[in-house]
């Protein structure tokens, strides 16, 4: 069965520091992987997605993620955190490849950015 | 509309009551999804519509939950005989067609069952 595990329910970084949010996946088929962000009082927004093309995926707001099959990981990074990055981040996997947007989400990581 | 709209934004009900949650997807989007997000958890898939038909309802937890999309646009999630465990944020999302195109989420309906 497909699943994702997000390590660290809360991550705190200083403004300007590297952001690293961890996601490991389990999938019996080649996975489609996603990162979503949820700002306070807003709906989930797609940050980026991996669909078996390039292993390094660039998303919005300076975020990127690298698909590493050997490590079954899809960690999210940003070189320099901004106060506006404070939000909850969800990793997700699609169990049907590109067939639908039926997604399995992780439990989320709440990112705090300290001034 | 400009985005996915969900009404009401908050719904408080008593155990055993019936509730309806409404979703207005982005105009022209044929695919519509319902997810449920419990406190401290990620969203959990409930049901997927392609047009008017439910293409996948495998996430509905039991027969108290039902959803419709009669004209292929607005969808209503219906919960009968509500239980305290149904308390959660119910999220609706839409995409232009099926497949893994960009999914647009609404802000959700916070359901509280007392």
Name the helix (H) or strand (E) containing B53: strand B53-56
The pair phi, psi for residue B110, each rounded to 5°, is -85, 110
Termini Cα distance of chain B:
33
Q: Average pLDDT of B1-12?
A: 91
Q: In DSSP terms, which residues pair with B54 in a beta bridge? A: B49
- Determine, for residues A99 and B98 on separate chains, whether the beta-carbon distance falls below 8 Å: yes
User: Under a CB-based contact definition with an 8 Å cutoff, are residues A36 and A6 in contact?
Assistant: no
Q: How confident is the model at residue A72 (pLDDT cuts 50, 70, 90)?
A: very high
Residue A87: C-alpha distances to residues A12, A65, A101, B21 (Å): 11, 17, 22, 26
CA A67 – CA B98 distance, rounded (Å): 24
B96–chain A Cβ distance below 8 A for any pair: no
**What residues in chain A have their Cβ under 8 A from chain B's Cβ atoms?**
9, 32, 41-46, 49, 51, 90, 92, 94, 97-108
Predicted confidence (pLDDT) at residue A85 exceeds the cutoff of 80:
yes
Contact A101 B42 (CB under 8 A): no
| Residue-level pLDDT at A9 | 94
DSSP string across B66-109: EEE-TTSS-EEEEE-S--GGG-EEEEEEEESSSSSPPPEE---E
Residue B52 has pLDDT above 60, yes or no: yes
Query: Max alpha carbon distance in chain A (Å)?
Result: 42
Taking contacts as CB-CB distances below 8 angstroms, the residues of chain A near B55 are 100
Q: Which of A92, A115, A94, A81 is nearest to A30 (CA)?
A: A94
Choose among B58, B14, B46, B9: nearest CA to A105.
B46
- The fraction of chain B above a pLDDT of 90, given in percent, is 91
- Cα gap A21→A26, rounded to integer Å: 17
pLDDT in tens, A3-52: 999 999 999 999 999 999 999 999 877 788 999 999 988 889 999 999 87
**pLDDT classification of B5: cutoffs 50, 70, 90:** very high
Which of A79-83, A92-96, B21-25 shows the lowest mean pLDDT across its residues?
A: A92-96
Question: A32: which chain B residues are within 8 Å (Cβ-Cβ)?
Answer: 100
- In order of A14, A21, A113, A115, B14, the CA distances from A86 in angstroms are 11, 12, 6, 11, 35
In this structure, how many other beta carbons lie within 10 angstroms of the beta carbon of residue B20?
Answer: 15
Per-residue pLDDT for B26 more than 80?
yes
Indicate the pLDDT class of residue B32, thresholds 50, 70 and 90: very high
B74 exposure class (CB count in 10 Å sphere: 0-12, 13-18, 19+): middle
By Cβ distance, the residue of A9, A100, A103 closest to B99 is: A100
């Amino acid at each position: 069965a497909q699943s994702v595990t997000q390590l660290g329910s809360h991550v705190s970084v200083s403004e300007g520091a590297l952001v690293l949010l961890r996601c490991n996946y389990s999938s019996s088929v080649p996975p489609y992987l996603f990162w979503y962000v949820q700002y306070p009082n807003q709906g989930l927004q797609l940050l980026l997605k991996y669909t078996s093309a390039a292993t390094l995926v660039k998303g919005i707001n300076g975020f990127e993620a690298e698909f590493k099959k050997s490590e079954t990981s899809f960690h999210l990074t940003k070189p320099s955190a901004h106060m506006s990055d404070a939000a909850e981040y969800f990793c997700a996997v699609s169990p049907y490849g590109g067939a639908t947007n039926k997604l399995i989400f992780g439990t989320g990581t709440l990112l705090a950015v300290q001034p | 509309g400009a985005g996915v709209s969900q009404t009401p934004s908050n719904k408080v009900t008593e155990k055993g009551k019936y509730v309806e949650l409404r979703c207005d997807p982005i105009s022209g989007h044929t695919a519509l999804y319902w997810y449920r997000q419990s406190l401290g958890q990620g969203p959990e898939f409930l049901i997927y519509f392609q047009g008017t038909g439910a293409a996948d309802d495998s996430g509905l937890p039991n027969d108290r939950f039902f959803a419709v999309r009669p004209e292929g646009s607005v969808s209503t999630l219906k919960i009968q005989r509500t239980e305290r465990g149904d308390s959660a944020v119910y999220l609706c999302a839409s995409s232009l067609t099926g497949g893994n195109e960009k999914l647009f989420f609404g802000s959700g309906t916070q359901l509280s069952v007392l």
